[in-house]
């Protein structure tokens, strides 16, 4: 039996995680987060497609691809959260569960980080749990997929 696939999409600058601002984002790299996500997905009977891009169009194309290939999307849109109506529009066209994820608690930070456009279409939002948020998002995605099938 083929496992449901979850797309885990990461936006701009997250490739540099672990290199700067450890007081906000921690010292874990995105590769380490990917490895932890793979291990967690395996225990939950899910397959993952883990991607990072610094380009808005590439992120949108991954969302389009997910419409055919994924049972759910976990997305850390990073800076595009606050600017991209195009990303919001693409996510609106994805019918399955969508979890918006931020490593930091965006609401505790400066005003420019308080209004995510992506939240307007997200099934759920996770913020402030650090890199563990990815593993928690995978657990939550398993629950949402099971609920949608019940
Ligand atoms: O907390 C998050 O996950 C964010 O989505 C990260 C974004 C920021 O614009 C959001 O407000 C919250 C920024 C990612 C910056 O990535 C860095 C990588 C290395 C060092 C510092 C930041």
Domain count, the chain: 1
- Residue 113 among the catalytic residues: no
CATH code at 104?
A: 3.40.50.9100
Whole-structure pTM over 0.85, yes or no? yes
Q: What is the pLDDT of residue 149?
A: 86
* Helical axes 132-149 vs 30-43, angle rounded to 10°: 30
Q: What is the pLDDT of residue 94?
A: 98
- Residue 23 among the catalytic residues: no
6, two tokens: 């979850």
The DSSP bridge partners found for residue 87 are none
Q: What is the pLDDT of residue 134?
A: 98
Residues with C-beta less than 6 Å from any ligand 1 atom: 13-14, 16-17, 19-21, 25, 76, 78-79, 102-104, 106, 113
Query: Ligand 1 centre and the CA of 39: distance in Å?
Result: 23
Residues spanned by the domain of 135: 5-149
Tell me the average confidence (pLDDT) per consecutive run of 10 residues in the chain, 150 residues long: 95 94 88 98 98 98 98 98 98 98 95 96 98 98 93
Whose Cα sits closest to atom 15 in ligand 1? 13
Q: What is the pLDDT of residue 53?
A: 98
Q: What is the pLDDT of residue 87?
A: 98
Q: Which residue, 71, 112, 111, 65, is CA-closest to 90?
A: 65
């Amino acid at each position: 039996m083929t496992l449901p696939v979850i797309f885990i999409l990461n936006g701009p600058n997250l490739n540099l995680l672990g290199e700067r601002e450890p007081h906000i984002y921690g010292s874990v790299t995105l590769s380490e987060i990917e490895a932890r996500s793979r291990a967690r997905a395996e225990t939950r009977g899910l397959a993952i497609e883990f991607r990072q891009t610094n380009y808005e169009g590439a992120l949108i194309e991954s969302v389009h691809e997910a419409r055919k290939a994924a049972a759910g999307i976990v997305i850390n849109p990073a800076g595009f959260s606050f600017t991209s109506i195009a990303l919001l529009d693409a996510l609106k066209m994805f019918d399955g569960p969508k979890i918006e994820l931020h490593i930091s608690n965006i609401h505790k930070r400066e005003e420019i980080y308080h209004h995510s456009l992506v939240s307007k279409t997200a099934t759920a939002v996770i913020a402030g749990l650090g890199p563990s948020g990815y593993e928690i998002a995978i657990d939550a995605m398993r629950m949402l997929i099971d609920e949608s099938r019940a």
